Amino acid sequence: MTAGIVNVVKPPGMTSHDVVSFIRRTYGLKKVGHAGTLDPAAAGVLPVFLGKATRLIEYAMQEDKSYRVELTLGYETDTGDDTGKTLSRAPFVMPAREKIEGALASFVGTTEQVPPMYSAIKVDGQKLYELARAGVDVEVKPRHITIYEIKLLKVSAEGFLFDVVCSKGTYIRSLCIDIGKKLGILAVMSFLVRTRAGQFALAEAHTLEEIAAQKEDLLLPLDSVLGQMPSLTLTDDQANRFCCGQNISCQASAGMYRVYNSKQELIGIGEVAAPLLLTPIKVLM
């Protein structure tokens, strides 16, 4: 069965689920999933996992992400971006570049962020955007996020462009609203491009047309999601026992490992916790 990862450029106007449906049809597979939803209006990197690679999605979800963001000042919407219903407008004077840079810099570090109501987070089993569309008002609890880097690129008459590197779970729409509040000006996210998701970069991503034409050539191996995780290679006997869920004696320091058989096929992920003992965490064979 086909298994691997495709680094997709999601075009604006498609949902992440639309992309998954396209990959299912292209590769003739049912077992397909993605790592990290992008809003329909957003574009950029969307890693899509096929076959048994779907069991590794959780590792991609843990990675930090990079975005290029366009923020527009002077109005607010119910969704936090320019696709929503305008709630209010207010005149403003564009702040000096130094003030904008200072506002952006104030978000670097770990902080709490309130996710937008129009998001897929579930409250009592219902997605927030479903509750929002039904006019139901619920309290959304803040989440801890980390902004690692943020850099102002360009200032225009309407707003500005910036790059940000952030932890999983960061909502860029909420970040734009909060930046506006820091400046004392209403703000929305007017465009978003995800330039990197963990190990997957926009420069190496492929359009849907390219994938349809070269589907086998563009399929990445399973271990491409595991980045810098160290590896262990087992003998045939050890690999068989590992795949049966048994602990394996090994000469390795504590930590998580990519585990390969003698043919250099990825057979799973293991953890060395007890001295010289490899415990299967996830078996792929």
Q: Give the active site residues.
A: 39
CA–CA separation, 227 vs 204, rounded Å? 15
Q: Are 12 and 39 in contact (CB under 8 A)?
A: no
Q: Identify the CA nearest to 164 among candidates 147, 180, 179, 177.
A: 147
List of residues 6+ apart from 113 with CB closer than 8 A? 142, 143, 144, 145, 170, 171, 174, 175, 178
| Residue pointed to by tokens 């962020």 | 113
Q: Identify the CA nearest to 175 among candidates 134, 146, 137.
A: 146
CA–CA separation, 239 vs 5, rounded Å? 23
Q: Which two tokens stand for residue 80?
A: 């936090």
